[in-house]
Structure formats: C-alpha cells, structure tokens
Amino acid sequence: MADLNELTETHMGLARRSENGRSAELVAHDGELRQTVIALADGVRLPAHNSPPAASIQVLAGSIRVELGEEVQGEFGAGELWTLTHERHSVLALEDCAFLLTTVTSVDKPSFS
C-alpha cells in the first residue's frame, strides 16, 4: 500500500533537485487503472499532452493550473480533486507541488486530443 504523504515529500524533494524540476512514480496499476504521483518544482510546466479516456487530479501539496492552450481550465490546491477535460492540456506548478494523477487507459474509447 502506498503512503501518499511519504511519496509527496519524497517526490517534491526529488523534483526540487532535478534538472527538469519533475519527479514521478507509478503507485498503482490495475488493468486499465493507473495512479501516478507527480511532483513539480515551482514554475515547471508539463507540456501540452493528449487526455486519456478518463482522468482526475488530486492535489496533494502546493497548487497547479490546468491550461487548455491559452485558456485556464482551473487552479487547484492541496486537497482538491478535479476531473480533467477531454481536451489537450498542460499543467503548470504555481508553487512546489505534488498531485495524484488517476487515469483509465487502454479501453475501447480513444484518447482525446
């Protein structure tokens, strides 16, 4: 069983020391379900990427902004859970942060772009 508090601290520390300002670990993989802890240093952006058939973000620490091109889908802080859009999007760390990304992949539905 994963300890999300421990994973948050570990990966935020790794992200701060990493050249690219990121750290991630797949913590659950069960069929189509995947859960990944992702940490980003302040100001680091995950570039625009396609959305899987279903996904959510639960912010564990810090805050993030989900962007759809030039549009802001939302800003989310620690303790908030958000269902991601089915559009191509990017994620910006508004401060050092960690979040749990839950995705459902490899189903009959294609990913969204």
Q: pLDDT (tens digit, 9 = 90+) per residue, 29-39?
A: 998 999 999 99
Domain segments of the chain as ranges: 4-104
pLDDT band, very low/low/confident/very high, at 56 (cuts 50, 70, 90): very high
φ, ψ of residue 80 in degrees (nearest 5): -90, 145
Tokens of 93: 């760390």
Percent of the chain whose predicted confidence (pLDDT) is above 90: 70
Contact (CB, 8 A) for 38 and 103: no
| pLDDT tens sequence across 77-93 | 999 999 987 888 999 99
Residue with the two structure tokens 């701060």: 16
**Residue 10 DSSP class:** H
- Threshold 0.85, pTM exceeds: yes
Query: 37 vs 60, 67, 70, 109, CA distance in Å?
Result: 9, 19, 26, 24
- Residue 49 CA, distance from chain mean position: 12
Per-residue pLDDT at 111 exceeds 60:
no
pLDDT of residue 22: 98
pLDDT band, very low/low/confident/very high, at 112 (cuts 50, 70, 90): low
Residue of 47 and 52 predicted with greater confidence = 47
Pick the CATH number of 4-104 from 3.40.1280.10, 1.20.1250.20, 1.10.645.10, 2.60.120.10: 2.60.120.10
